[in-house]
Structure 1
């Protein structure tokens, strides 16, 4: 059996996603709660206990727990606590970057969005990039042996780690890899544990989401949305050619939204063109590029302008990207050639 050299630490990916989801949910819940209660303050007189302090305490607790305790269980709980703490911390970013300590600083939501996007891109790339180095694979195996000693390793996690160790290729690490495999197989382990239940819940949710988003009707709806976007872009360009708007040039944010929207729209137009003329895979990749421009550029300025009102557009774009990712994977699986389509 050929080892999958692309295997990565699925538990690490799940812990990171737990951290990020907890942080995003904390920001949204905190802002909703403060708005609903009239922005109450904890303290009296000259004292004001800002929620950034509770965030710092939670992040410190998570760091200390990881520093003094071994095992996967504490990592899962620390990811959750650290995510909540970071959400409370970053929610007050407006106070940190303004002289008058302004929580309502308008670009704050856009800055929070950029922080989360960068976290996601960097961390996910570090975890899932094709073929982690052999040293990293051995470290994952050693962590699993630690879990085994603590009674925190289950069969789901063990099989995942064994797949990671199968990817070790450097002959210098052959003996160490074999020793780790032997140690992991020395005793029976339970079927599931806290860590694997979190991983399983994440994988189950991902499978259900993929099943729904990969449905043919959903994919057709997404493609119709792109056709509408392409038509809107063409109409907007035509209108811009016959209309002079001096006010738009006065607002840099508006100008950047218009430019990024034009780039995203142009990619959508090309994608729709290839939907009709082919090749289909190139069309899907162009449409994916259109959504990525929207998420990484346009949405930043929309959050600046509309604050949390931009969440609806973000959610729609994220769902469209997920649908396209699934469609592209399906097309690549059935493609007669594995060579990338240079769109």
Structure 2
């Protein structure tokens, strides 16, 4: 805080946008090149590698962040920067081999590990201490920056007001920030934000799926099938069970299966919160351990398992958030002397 390093409360969303854009770019680029026979742009001794447009897109993203203030530009910069980084990291095989080998076999594992380290490193920086109330207030002021210049829509004003309510009245500058926010003119015209709209639609979809009556049983079945399927795929495509990456997949699959069984038992006993947490651990082990070895064993054939893990993680976190909201509502009702809601957590 003394250094002025104020964290963005939406940093997790922006990082997710960056990583998803980057991973999708790598997979789409590999698919297009494979289908088109790996053409080369250039001629007469020249070859324009796609690392160059990747660098240009990262430059555009940096320019947007340096040239504009307020929260509007960040989703676009995260998307453009992610695409640029994806084009850059896709050619890592050329950078680490003496013969510039784009098809260097460990490339898939290297790319995956890089993205995992980005997520873990950023998460460490963002969560090593709780968000300070002054940081929350600074984020409200960030919304007000947008409002002072071009007005605030009802949706943007509601977002800023909700964040302001979490700031204690004792925090210096809160009253002035509330007055500044109220002084921002109304303007329902917003810059198109397809990234925000896509994430909101995805979140709504996860919430609907997570509340389906058969969701718990389907989650157990998917996690169990995936644990077995990953081992079979690695054994078939990874040159047998003596291959080191296959042994890593085996260890990760067994650990994920252990968490899945424990989660199923907790669910059977009616402890839904513990079951969700154990299922999350099963998915995280798959993402952070099993998939690393899977990419090393099968290269980009492991992308399907990674995408399934991400979908499962989204569903589980949507369910955990639903239970948290229900518990908060129940606690508030008890404080007010009201009967518990019939829609409380199961």
* TM-score interval, smaller chain: 0.7 to 0.9
2:186 aligned to 189, 192, 196, which one?
A: 189
Q: Would you say 1:311 and 2:310 are equivalent positions?
A: no
Mapped pair 1:67 → 2:66? yes
Is 1:257 aligned to residue 249 of structure 2? yes
Question: Do the aligned partners of residues 222 and 75 (structure 1) sit closer, same or farther apart at CA in structure 2, a change above 3 Å counting?
Answer: closer
Match of 1:242 in 2: none
Residue 150 (1) aligns with residue 142 (2)? no
Gaps of 5+ in 1: 1-7, 237-246, 339-343
Alignment CA distance shift 1:332-1:21 (3 Å): closer
- Maintained 8 Å contact 1:145/1:183: yes
Identify unmatched segments of 5+ residues in structure 2: 1-7, 233-239, 332-346
In structure 2, the residue corresponding to 1:216 is in which secondary structure?
A: coil
Alignment partner, residue 9 of structure 1: 9
What SS does the aligned partner of 1:185 have?
Answer: helix
1:156 and 1:196 in contact (8 A); partners too: no
Is 1:271 the counterpart of 2:263 in the alignment? yes
| Stretch of structure 1 that moved more, 188-197 or 102-111 | 188-197
Alignment-derived partner of residue 19 in structure 2? 20
Q: Deviations over 1:241-293 (max 9, x none)?
A: xxxxxx744x3212222222222222223333444456444333323222211
For residues 270 and 13 of structure 1, the distance between their equivalents in structure 2, rounded to whole angstroms, comes to 29
Give the TM-score normalised by the residue count of structure 1: 0.78
Give yes or no for contact 2:21–2:82 (8 Å, CA) kept in 1: yes
Q: Which SS does the other structure have where 1:89 is aligned?
A: helix
TM-score of the two chains, using structure 2 as the length reference: 0.77
Q: CA deviation at 1:227?
A: 5.5
Deviation at 1:32, TM superposition (A): 1.1
Structure with more contact order per residue of length (Cα contacts < 8 Å, sep ≥ 6):
1
Q: Which deviates more from structure 2 when the two are superposed, residues 155-164 or residues 291-300?
A: 155-164
Structure 2 CA distance for partners of 1:148 and 1:274, relative to 1, 3 Å: closer
Equivalent positions of 1:324-339 (< 5 A) are 324-330=316-322
For 2:67 and 2:309, the matched residues in 1 are separated by 41
- 1:83 and 2:82 are equivalent in the alignment: yes
Distance verdict in 2 for CA 1:269–1:137, change over 3 Å: closer
Shift of 1:36: 1.2
**2:220 paired residue among 198, 223, 233:** 223
Q: Structure 1, residues 295-342: CA drift from partner, whole Å, max 9, x if none?
A: 11001111121122112222333333333334445556667999xxxx
Contact map agreement 1:23 1:85 (CA 8 A) in 2 = yes
Residues 106-150 of structure 1, C-alpha deviation per residue, up to 9 Å, x if partnerless? 121122222223334444676688952133223323322321232
In the TM superposition, 1:129-148 aligns within 5 A as 131-148=130-147
Aligned length: 315
Deviation string for 1:52-79 (max 9, x for gaps)? 1111111112212321233444334322
